[in-house]
Amino acid sequence: MIQVFVKEFNSFLNSLIAYIVIGAFLTGIGLLTWVFPETSVLDYGFADLDTLFSMAPYVFIFLIPAITMKSFAEEKKMGTLELLLTKPLSDWSVVLGKFLATWALVFLALVPTVIYYFSVYKLGNPVGNVDSAGVMGSYIGLALLAMIFSAFGLFASSLTSNQIVSFILAAFLCFLIYMGFDSLSSFGGNAALFIKQLGIIYHYESLSKGLVDSRDVIYFLSVTGFILLTTKVVISSRQW
Amino acid sequence: MLLLHRKKMSLSVSHLTKVFGQQRAVDDITFSIEKGEIVGFLGPNGAGKSTTMKMATGYLPATAGSIQVNGLDVTTHSIQVRKMMGYLPEHNPLYLDMYVHEYLHFIGKVFEIPGSKLKSRVAEIIELCGLTPEQNKKIEALSKGYRQRVGLAQALIHNPEVLILDEPTTGLDPNQILEIRKLINQISSDKTVIFSTHIMQEVQAICDRVIVINKGEIVADDSVNNLLAAQGQSDVVVEFEGEVNSEDLATLEGVEKVTVIKSGIFRLKAKNGADLRAEVFKFASERKLSLIGLRKEENTLEDIFRSLTVKETVT
């Protein structure tokens, strides 16, 4: 697993992918948080980072599928998947190695935004008047959300050898689980809360209040685990 | 005794069958390869060579039958078997965006070569496969011949006991083919090698033994020499100046059949592979005929291959 992780992560760094992902994410989020008047923290006048945490998931919906779209699709097309899977690597270690590499890259893009926190911290009046627990919780939420998106991206990539199909499918799945369930819940009647809880927003918002509830963490972990299992099954399905 | 016998087998395939939908790609084939043997896996396109190899590496499951490598079953001891095996898939897939060094390093890590030895092993394999001048390039920048060497290098990096090469020379120019063949000869001294091809000369040049497969079935499994001897017939083509009666030729000792190619040119088919040239020469000198051509024509592996595989299709 380590070998696959290192190889995948290096291939992000050696190609332009890593720099484009980090650059695009930071530019987009930076503009939204500090420059554009509708969403700028400076114009808003309150020392919080809501803009960052409410916009980042939407950026991830497009960014993460773009990172993962080639992971299995390209290997299938080039035939290198056969090479990889006839080496002494279990199917799990291939899936997990690729998953962790994707997640690590997203993490790397997220790390520089810690500067935003310090900026807001200094801008507060009095200095340091920021809901630090909320920010911390939001970061955890965002990292967990990226985890689910990465898993969905890999899953979509494992289904096809066409990268465009993989991208669109992954973006759709991420959108569905992030917003879809939340929006659908209004039709839900008695089951509304249950439907709401299937989606990410419910748990993400709960984390962003600064309270790390084990139920929310378990939700993120179990959804990720399930999607990764499905991906592994798809990869192993050649054996049927 | 049986157990002892089995232990020597590097690769044993028994009653292997693979069905894709309606098509029987591999149909109940059984063979075993001893340690150190080089076996050519020969067959026309679509005969089931690649499918058999994919099953031997554990990439595809068999519909029925089993494959054992050094006594370990491919499906139940998959990871152990893969550690003992070097595999070059058909079309030689490679990570084109990686550097030669980086790629071999990665494959070495996958085979869990300890870090201290990995560097020297990569250097060694680069040397062995003649990749030294290209070692700092990206794989996508390499020519097809060099890519093939990289493919061989990754299959060899962990010094496997069993080497499975799926059409290692397709698409190369004649010089490159010779080089790759030389490389295979060089590395195969202490390994069991099975490689598929549809090029006959290759088998004659490299292999001890040849397995011919057609439509998923084994049609011949023998040493190259035996196969030539058993199937091979030597014909003699004679050319006389002036008219000669073909019936006179038919009376010669050892002649089975005479065919007239042109006036004065005959093809004599011998019984039991006997050499007819001495007889023909005697015949000519007795009758004071001027013999202007006398040529022995041996059946090549190519003819044998064609007769084996085409016969199957007709019947």
What is the average pLDDT across B230-239?
Answer: 71
- b vs e for A128-155, b when ≥16 Cβ sit within 10 Å of the residue's Cβ? eebbeebbebbbbbbebbbbbbbbbbbb
3-class SS of residue A34: helix
Q: Cβ of A88 and B95 within 8 Å?
A: no
Amino acid identity for residue A98 in this structure: K
Please name which of B53, B107, B85 lies closest in space to residue B160, comparing C-alpha atoms. Answer: B85
B216 pLDDT more than 90? no
User: Which residues of chain B make contact with A82, given a CB cutoff of 8 A?
Assistant: 54, 59, 89, 93
What pLDDT is attached to residue A232? Answer: 93
Nearest-Cα distance to chain A for B102, in Å, is 9
Instruction: Give the integer Cα–Cα distance in Å for B240 and B292.
Output: 6
Check if A78 contacts B (Cβ < 8 Å).
Answer: yes
Average pLDDT of chain B, as a whole number: 82
B293 forms beta bridges with B239
Q: Of chain A residues 83-102, which have a CB less than 8 A from chain B?
A: 83, 85-90
CA distances from A72 to A77, A153, A158, A225, A239 (A): 9, 10, 5, 18, 17
- Dihedral of the alpha carbons of A122, A123, A129, A135, in degrees to the nearest 10: -80
Instruction: Give the integer Cα–Cα distance in Å for A56 and B299.
Output: 73
Interface ipTM:
0.83
| Chain A interface, best mutation among B59, B103, B112, by max A CB count within 10 A | B59
B7 pLDDT more than 60? no
B3 pLDDT more than 80? no
Please name which of B218, B110, B187, B14 lies closest in space to residue A80, comparing C-alpha atoms. Answer: B110
pLDDT in tens, A183-207: 888 887 888 888 888 889 889 988 8
Q: How confident is the model at residue B230 (pLDDT cuts 50, 70, 90)?
A: low
Taking residue B281's Cβ as centre, other Cβ atoms within 10 Å add up to 13
A46 pLDDT more than 90? no
Q: Cβ of A82 and B91 within 8 Å?
A: no
Instruction: Give the integer Cα–Cα distance in Å for B276 and B254.
Output: 7
Residue of chain B nearest A77, judged by CA positions:
B93
pLDDT in tens, A61-82: 999 999 999 899 999 998 898 8
Q: How confident is the model at residue A34 (pLDDT cuts 50, 70, 90)?
A: confident
Chain B residues within 8 A (CB-CB) of chain A? 54, 57-61, 79-80, 82-83, 85, 87, 89, 91, 93-98, 102, 106-107, 109-112, 154
pLDDT in tens, B260-292: 878 778 877 777 666 777 778 888 888 887 888
What pLDDT is attached to residue A231? Answer: 94
A106 pLDDT more than 70? yes
Check if A3 contacts B (Cβ < 8 Å).
Answer: yes
What pLDDT is attached to residue A148? Answer: 94
B1 pLDDT more than 50? no
Check if A15 contacts B (Cβ < 8 Å).
Answer: yes
Contact (CB, 8 A) for A167 and A69:
yes
Sign of CA dihedral B7, B10, B12, B17: positive
Check if A13 contacts B (Cβ < 8 Å).
Answer: no
CA distances from B119 to A1, B25, B123 (A): 20, 42, 6
Contact (CB, 8 A) for A155 and A231:
yes
What is the number of CB-based contacts under 8 A between chain A and chain B?
A: 58
Taking residue B306's Cβ as centre, other Cβ atoms within 10 Å add up to 14
Nearest-Cα distance to chain A for B89, in Å, is 7
3-class SS of residue A38: coil
Nearest-CB residue to A11 (from B58, B97, B111) = B97
Q: Cβ of A82 and B54 within 8 Å?
A: yes
User: Which residues of chain B make contact with A6, given a CB cutoff of 8 A?
Assistant: 106, 109
Q: Are strands B85-88 and B9-20 parallel, antiparallel or unpaired?
A: unpaired
User: Which residues of chain B make contact with A15, given a CB cutoff of 8 A?
Assistant: 97
Percent of chain B exceeding pLDDT 70 equals 91
Please name which of A239, A238, A231 lies closest in space to residue A94, comparing C-alpha atoms. Answer: A231
Residue of chain A nearest B75, judged by CA positions:
A239
User: Which residues of chain A make contact with B159, given a CB cutoff of 8 A?
Assistant: none
Instruction: Give the integer Cα–Cα distance in Å for A125 and A46.
Output: 9
Instruction: Give the integer Cα–Cα distance in Å for A235 and A224.
Output: 16
B92 pLDDT more than 60? yes
Question: What is the three-state SS of B45-78?
Answer: CCCCHHHHHHHHCCCCCCCEEEEEECCEECCCCH
Nearest-Cα distance to chain A for B127, in Å, is 23
What pLDDT is attached to residue B234? Answer: 66
Instruction: Give the integer Cα–Cα distance in Å for A140 and A137.
Output: 5
| Chain B interface, best mutation among A10, A70, A86, by max B CB count within 10 A | A86
Tokens describing residue A145: 């959300």
B71 pLDDT more than 80? yes
Nearest-CB residue to B110 (from A87, A238, A240) = A87
B242 pLDDT more than 80? no
Local structure of residue A71 (DSSP, 8 states): T
Residue of chain A nearest B81, judged by CA positions:
A88
